[in-house]
Structure 1
């Protein structure tokens, strides 16, 4: 039987930025998201993936209390209103759990923290950030606390957790936590932020359902920019191995990276990236604003995330007109994905592979979809079997093209 996660397509939102709450006084801002849920439903997604919403010192990843909504966003009543509105629309809620580290103001006994020496301030920190104090995951009380937090919000309407900096936590800790949480929430889904390394091995050791597919993210935009589909082909073969171990969270943008529209060196290739995202295995996630071709450069400095975590207007009618064609492109490709839900578990392999042209064949059982990508300056006729297939989507759905020929800088999906 398929789990709900096998049908999931998320819209990821960073609430503190979305609601312009980062430097704001306490207020009831979380419910502003309710006014955007119909926009998300019309986009075609089935879930809302939230960034940090719990009481924190600054950006949300320096948590002070995992059992309290950040006062800048509101309170429990605001959460209940958002959860009910999502439930009414059939949207699953995925929460951001920051359990590797906490803010310096987090109140807990000293033995809850990892130490680097005997002095009171000799506390381990996360990747050099003084304000992010590392928890001691060998401490049973820390495990009990994380289990309590997970259970609390799953009981109050969440459907799963994205576990921040999961790679920095011993995988056995997640397994121990999930062994206690899953019996009470068997449908809950857990994805861990893992950037580098052996994804299948981490999934096996941790018991998580999913990891964040950073390797595929990088290969998508890099292969387009460099005219090197061999990189994408190599990453997709590894991606097939990840799919044997779990259901990776796939994306072409998130709250920690430069926007896709900024990253790509040729605007004509944005559709190519999306065509890959929505025709390969995994649980796709769309970062808010990417569906409107927002731009933003991630910088390695204090405040360097601000450009990729902007405020949204009061409602969709206030968005700039230039982004709506990209929104409609997302709608079309998400619609195709939803008509072929088997793609979540599909394996994808390249055919007709060249530097600037590739045919990606995604299969599961007796199902098949072929995605043709051409980033070169001349048309390409692909050598690929298209028996039984028809043109399902393309960069220019109004033109008359043969099934196997794709114009310069064009793409087609055959289903």
Structure 2
């Protein structure tokens, strides 16, 4: 065995409390190197005649990525504490892996050899809101969803959809437009809306806040927003707002004061200014989002800035009963601020959802003291590479997803924010080269993956568009221009996800090897149900009978079409199957 590849750390994604009484223990090994792994564990204080009392539990291989295998065990320690190690076996040898290294036999004379989980504290269990697991999100860019009240229109507002979207044009989307079309979302099966920023700002995207306590007049009044939230809640829809706390807008009053008064401004320490006077060209001499001079970075460690932003976070929950905050550019804000942010909002509403925009490995933010989830862009990238562009094989896709799933604890994966596109990326249909069948397959993957899925407005009726600003076009409400078949497919997939709990489960997401690089198979299984998802990206049918036999299948139900099918069935080219297996 390659001992150098065997890895465990008694923290984060390798050792964690799944709930108030259960520990999850993981081990990483070289791919295809070991034949078995056994967890050796015991209470550190249980001794008999000078011998520490060990128990053993076979660990299951929970998945593989490109280089490693992962093993997992679920343990309920008798007294909420545990010392543990691993018995690892290959074709040629057996060893015991502990915190102090490798041994030929399990030491029982001193627990200090072993990894330690000191105590399972209820307060330290990662606990995201339970409702998030059952939520299907719909992202709305308010300026482009629907114009319900022309009286709110900014100066120069264009007729709806009359021009291509640009960074500076306006079409008058507002809250009344959203209220008027809530039934569209209800019919689809949506149970959560994520709004990009709604606060007063100069741009059409509103990521350049002028006043965090005021709604932009083009969207309506606070009374209208309150009515919108109430209407959503009445229809079983949660509401999440976008908070831009990394930076403000150029016309934010404190920044304007620094521009006017320079080093004499009382707000000069609200920002990261390198020298005075402030300049914007060729590069700003103050920190910004990227190098955008209209988005000066806020100094979130400054007491006044912190106090202001935390009051903002509290205000919109207390006054309007919102259900979540999506945090823009979250990785560039200090961890201390986010810890205080979590304490502030959770005191007001315990089950508020905190979602960070982070595009890379996010474990430092997901330890239970900051965010409930991050936007799962690694899932996005892998799913589009396989399903939309066929850049990678099914095996490569499985390896990438397994890597993501093993990068975080299971209870983190259960609420990860899964998306296929957004206001920051090209639209799904465009990435899929206009192929609606691929989009249906991608929706099938999205709606059967662990996490909380999000649909970008317009994707359900076949809207296309490249990167920003083309992905921010006006919603198409003309029935003759909508893809109704695509809408019905997505509606059916959402309904299946809601009906079958195992489809959203993170506990069992098992990929099956195939003989075709363009065919993806994975099994979702719990104590009540086993479901096989098949995605065929190839140009020929793919027979499933051998896989059904391997799964000891006796009968098969096609859940999507709601019918019993024969064991000798296939996945047609460019299609998908969602099959319930009875063993």
What is the 5 A alignment of 1:320-359? 320-346=480-506, 347-353=508-514, 354-359=516-521
**1:301 counterpart residue number:** none
Task: Indicate if the aligned counterparts of 1:261 and 1:270 stay in contact, CA closer than 8 A.
Answer: yes
Q: TM-score, normalised by structure 2?
A: 0.65
Matched, 1:6 2:120: no
Q: Matched residue of 1:49: which SS?
A: strand
Q: Matched residue of 1:102: which SS?
A: coil
- RMSD of equivalent CA atoms: 2.5
Alignment deviations for residues 298-352 of structure 1 (CA, whole Å, 9 cap, x no partner): 1xxxxxx232112235xx5x33344111111110000001102454342422102
Q: State which of 268, 289, 295 in structure 2 corresponds to 1:126.
A: 289
Task: Indicate if the aligned counterparts of 2:300 and 2:334 stay in contact, CA closer than 8 A.
Answer: yes
**2:144 counterpart residue number:** 17
**1:235 counterpart residue number:** 400
Task: Indicate if the aligned counterparts of 1:61 and 1:98 stay in contact, CA closer than 8 A.
Answer: yes
Q: State which of 163, 179, 193 in structure 2 corresponds to 1:48.
A: 193
Q: State which of 140, 155, 166 in structure 1 corresponds to 2:330.
A: 166
Task: Indicate if the aligned counterparts of 1:173 and 1:206 stay in contact, CA closer than 8 A.
Answer: no
What is the 5 A alignment of 1:103-252? 103-108=249-254, 109-121=267-279, 122-155=285-318, 156-196=320-360, 198-204=361-367, 207-224=370-387, 225-226=389-390, 228-241=393-406, 242=408, 244=410, 246=412, 247-252=415-420
Alignment deviations for residues 339-389 of structure 1 (CA, whole Å, 9 cap, x no partner): 024543424221024410121112345443211111111111232424564
Q: Tell me, in whole angstroms, the C-alpha distance in 2 between the residues paired with 1:400 and 1:351.
A: 21
Q: Matched residue of 1:372: which SS?
A: strand
Q: State which of 512, 523, 534 in structure 2 corresponds to 1:372.
A: 534
Matched, 1:102 2:248: yes
Unaligned stretches of 5+ residues in structure 2: 1-126, 148-152, 158-169, 255-266, 280-284
Shift of 1:207: 1.9
**1:71 counterpart residue number:** 217
Task: Indicate if the aligned counterparts of 2:145 and 2:174 stay in contact, CA closer than 8 A.
Answer: no
What is the 5 A alignment of 1:80-91? 80-91=226-237
**2:19 counterpart residue number:** none
Unaligned stretches of 5+ residues in structure 1: 299-304
Structure possessing the higher radius of gyration over alpha carbons: 2
**1:302 counterpart residue number:** none
Matched, 1:295 2:453: no
- The total of aligned residue pairs comes to 403
Q: State which of 447, 467, 476 in structure 2 corresponds to 1:278.
A: 447
**1:393 counterpart residue number:** 560
Say which structure is richer in helix: 1
Alignment deviations for residues 213-271 of structure 1 (CA, whole Å, 9 cap, x no partner): 11111111111222522332122213323352521100112111111111013443212
Q: Tell me, in whole angstroms, the C-alpha distance in 1 between the residues paired with 2:306 and 2:396.
A: 40
Q: Matched residue of 2:296: which SS?
A: strand
Q: Matched residue of 1:129: which SS?
A: coil
Greater RCO (Cα-Cα under 8 Å, separation 6 or more): 1
Q: Matched residue of 2:133: which SS?
A: helix
Q: Matched residue of 1:204: which SS?
A: coil
Task: Indicate if the aligned counterparts of 1:27 and 1:71 stay in contact, CA closer than 8 A.
Answer: no
Task: Indicate if the aligned counterparts of 1:236 and 1:348 stay in contact, CA closer than 8 A.
Answer: no
